[in-house]
Amino acid sequence: MSIRRWSLTVVICFAVFAALALFKVMEIRAAIAFGESFPEHSETVEEARVEETGFTPTIKVMGTVVAAKRLDLHNELAGEIVQVNFRSGDHVQAGQILLQLDVAIEQANLGAALARADLAKSTYERARELFGRNAVSKEQLDQAQSDLAASQAAVKVLQRTIDKKTLRAPFAATAGLHQFEVGQYLPENTLVTTLIGDSDEVWVDFKVPQFYRPLSTGSAVTVETIGQQAGSSAVTGTVIAENTVVQTANRSRLYRAAIQAGNKAFMANTMVSVQVPIGDAVPLLKVPAVSIQYDALGAYVFRLQKAEDGQGFRAHRHQVRVKTTIGDAALLEPASTADSLSVGARIAAAGAFKLYEGILVFVPEPQPAAATDAENMAAEGTTGAPQQEAL
């Protein structure tokens, strides 16, 4: 009797446990089936192609703009100003009189000197005629010739003095600022104005440390303004000359480059930034800078490869070595391994930070330009309507 009860108890317990186990198995299977009904996790990113580009290593140094034709005009003789023929900032022509000092005394002396020169010339010609007829001695002829030469020299001295008091523009140029007025006394060696010649070509003087390789004549450099105008006025120049010695103060070589600059961004004495090549061009891989990700192991990108089922792509991590970054592009050193990035490879660009190894990735199809323009016009129309109502 006791054995029968125990057997019945065991059978009942086993049945209960079996029922519970079956229920749990069915519950787990249902959960698994429910989970498998969801699609695989994926991300949508923009793609880019790996491109090859040439890169020349450069350094940036400071330079100074030098006018190709510049003259600081000074007066050699003192005097009173009687005429001012230019205003500050005027464009002047070659030979134009800029400033006239008082030459009344010199003009009077010049008239007297010319009269003496005419008399000396007549005396000399008469003496030469008489000497031909043996009417005067050789000494008298020499004296007449000497008087003529002295009188002509006196005329030249006075004419030169008048020229020195007449300040002219030696070439077509733009004049600088001045504050001269008629009647003002001008001491000798006073700076009258600074003339900058009419030329689109200007020079840029810059220094390169001597431990970099020397630049050859004809080497290309990039010159751009600094400060608020940085990047807005970048031009390409050509090295035209090198100083004959290395400067002892900073052990640098001094170079001069010529640039074509027809605007006021490159005025004389302007400080500029000069990008100088310091090596030969090397081939590098170009990718968007946004595609580069970083972690403790260094920089890497996600290469996109077609999924096995043909639906989307799989992201695979590739370590890279970033050479430099220029604007929104990163330049990579080509790797020598077989599985390294190659030109034309598809990589993740914007949105790459969301990816991890093996994740399913989808790339949106590019929209046609016409459709994009229509959408933009529609957006402008919808945003413009409330503004008109508000007005």
Q: How confident is the prediction along the chain (391 residues), in pLDDT tens digits per residue? A: 577 777 778 778 888 888 888 888 888 877 777 665 566 778 888 888 888 888 888 889 999 999 988 999 999 999 999 999 999 989 999 999 999 999 999 899 999 999 998 998 888 888 888 877 777 788 888 888 898 899 999 999 999 999 999 999 999 999 999 899 999 999 999 999 999 988 888 999 999 999 898 988 989 999 988 876 555 678 889 999 999 898 888 899 999 999 987 767 788 888 999 999 988 888 888 889 889 999 888 889 988 888 887 778 888 888 888 888 888 888 888 875 556 778 888 888 888 888 888 888 888 876 665 445 555 555 554 444 443 333 2
Q: CB neighbours (10 Å) of residue 261?
A: 22
At the topology level, CATH places domain 47-53+283-362 in 2.40.420
Q: What is the pLDDT of residue 114?
A: 92
Contact yes or no for 51/331 (Cβ under 8 A): no
Name the segment(s) of the chain with CATH classification 2.40.420.20.
47-53+283-362
| Residues of the chain by 3-state class (helix, strand, coil), percent to 5 | 30, 35, 35
Long-range contacts of the stretch 113-121 (C-beta < 8 A, 24+): 113/151, 113/154, 113/155, 113/158, 114/155, 116/151, 116/154, 117/148, 117/151, 117/152, 117/154, 117/155, 119/151, 120/144, 120/147, 120/148, 120/150, 120/151, 120/152, 121/148, 121/151
The residues near 195 (Cβ < 8 Å, ≥ 6 apart) are 69, 70, 71, 73, 92, 169, 170, 171, 173, 174, 175, 176
Tokens of 211: 């431990």
Phi-psi region of 351 (alpha: psi -120 to 50; beta: other; left: phi over 0): left
Name the segment(s) of the chain with CATH classification 1.10.287.
103-164
Residue 154 and residue 163: Cα distance in Å, rounded?
14
Residue 43 and residue 359: Cα distance in Å, rounded?
8
Tokens of 287: 């990718």
Q: Which CATH number fits domain 57-101+168-279: 2.120.10.30, 3.10.270.10, 2.40.30.170, 3.60.15.10?
A: 2.40.30.170
Q: What is the pLDDT of residue 391?
A: 27
Contact yes or no for 196/67 (Cβ under 8 A): yes
The residues near 58 (Cβ < 8 Å, ≥ 6 apart) are 222, 275, 276, 277, 278
Amino acid at 390: A
Q: What is the pLDDT of residue 83?
A: 92
Q: What is the pLDDT of residue 351?
A: 85
Name the segment(s) of the chain with CATH classification 2.40.30.170.
57-101+168-279
Does this model's pTM top 0.85? My answer is no
Q: Which class would CATH give 103-164?
A: mainly alpha
Q: What are phi and psi of 184, to 5 degrees?
A: -75, 140
Contact yes or no for 235/63 (Cβ under 8 A): no
